[in-house]
């Protein structure tokens, strides 16, 4: 079996757009202002482990669950595309916010307090990520393609962890304006991906 490099890079790019490691890192910075470096490392690693577990569960059992519910993959492509487009639309049109307003006080920030919500869910393993996982697994023509979907997810999660650890420096370099620009560019890419999913689903439902 030969790896489809185009499929792999499509999966890698898709996960990068949906998870948005830079945006996650900047939010992580705001949420963990009261934590020490060691606490921050434990927090983000635990969040990554939870997110990866959820993504793996959907990668392995997602399509079987849909089959049991009588939902076709083409129907999921249309629904998933609409969901991803909604996410992209919000990324492009949202009003800039001051992220500093969203962090908790140092007294309230504890390990485990933010690992599941909002770090693991929905930032790393939100509805868009899980829908994308099921779609990519279904689109993989070979077992190696499906393995590459998991590899792509792990790579993006690791990048998210790295940027989160360096979030203080990243925040100084990008600033709020830089973050807004990047999120809007990623939103455009995600919108195009979402429309492609819808087109493929409609083709499968009505034209095949």
- Domain limits at 154? 36-95+108-207
Average pLDDT over every residue of 35-42:
85
Model confidence at 144, pLDDT cuts 50, 70, 90, reads: very high
* CA distances for 119 relative to 52, 79, 144, 178, angstroms: 12, 25, 29, 21
Write down the pLDDT at residue 97.
Answer: 55
Q: pLDDT band at residue 112, thresholds of 50, 70 and 90?
A: low
Does 139 fall in a domain? yes
pLDDT of residue 101: 41
13 domain-assigned = no
Examine residue 2 and state whether it is found in any structural domain, yes or no: no
Quick one: pLDDT band at residue 46, thresholds 50, 70, 90? Answer: very high
105 pLDDT more than 60: no
Helix/strand/coil (H/E/C) assignment for every residue in the chain: CCCCHHHHHHHHHHHHHHHCHHHHHHHHHHHCCCCCHHHHHHHHHHHHHHHHHHHHHHHHHHHHHHHHCCCCHHHHHHHHHHHHHHHHHHHHHCCCCCHHHHCCCCCCCCCCCCHHHHHHHHHHCCHHHHHHHHHHHHHCCCHHHHHHHHHHHHHHHHHHHHHHHCHHHHHHHHHHHHHHHHHHHHHHHHHHHHHHHHHHHHHHHHHC
pTM for this one?
A: 0.73
Average pLDDT, the chain: 82
29, 102 Cβ separation under 8 angstroms: no
**Residue 145: other Cβ atoms inside 10 A:** 18
pLDDT of 130: 87
- CB contact burial 40-77 (16+ within 10 A = b; e otherwise): beebbebbbebbbebbeebbeebbeebeeeeeebbebb
Evaluate whether residue 9 is within a structural domain: no
**Range of weakest confidence among 62-66, 131-135, 187-191:** 187-191
Mean pLDDT of 181-194: 77
pLDDT at 75 over 90: no
Residue 57 pLDDT > 90, yes or no? yes
- Number of domains the chain contains: 1
- In the block, residue with structure tokens 């996410």: 87
- Position 104 scores a pLDDT of 43
Q: Is residue 188 part of a domain?
A: yes
| Rounded mean pLDDT, 54-76 | 87
Separation between Cα atoms, residue 14 and residue 22, nearest integer Å: 14
Question: Structure tokens of 188?
Answer: 């455009």
**φ and ψ of 98, to 5 deg:** -85, 105
Q: Is there a domain that residue 26 lies in?
A: no
Q: Does 18 reside within a domain?
A: no
pLDDT at 152 over 90: yes
The pLDDT, as a whole number, for residue 66 is 81
The pLDDT tens digits of the residues spanning 118-132 come to 889 878 998 788 888
* Domain membership flag for residue 7: no
């Amino acid at each position: 079996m030969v790896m489809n490099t185009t499929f792999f890079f499509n999966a890698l790019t898709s996960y990068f757009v949906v998870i948005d490691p830079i945006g996650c890192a900047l939010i992580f910075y705001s949420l963990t202002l009261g934590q020490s470096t060691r606490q921050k490392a434990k927090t983000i690693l635990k969040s990554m482990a939870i997110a990866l577990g959820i993504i793996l569960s959907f990668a392995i059992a997602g399509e079987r669950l849909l089959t049991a519910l009588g939902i076709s993959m083409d129907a999921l492509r249309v629904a998933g595309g609409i969901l991803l487009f909604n996410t992209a639309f919000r990324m492009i049109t949202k009003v800039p916010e001051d992220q500093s307003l969203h962090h908790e006080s140092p007294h309230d920030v504890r390990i485990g307090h933010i690992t599941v919500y909002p770090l693991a869910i929905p930032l790393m393993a939100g509805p868009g990520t899980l829908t994308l996982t099921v779609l990519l697994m279904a689109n993989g023509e070979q077992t190696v393609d499906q393995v590459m979907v998991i590899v792509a997810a792990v790579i993006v999660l690791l990048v998210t962890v790295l940027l989160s650890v360096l979030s203080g420096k990243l925040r100084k370099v990008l600033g709020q304006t830089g973050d807004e620009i990047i999120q809007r560019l990623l939103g455009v890419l995600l919108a195009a991906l979402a429309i492609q999913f819808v087109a493929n689903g409609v083709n499968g439902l009505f034209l095949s």
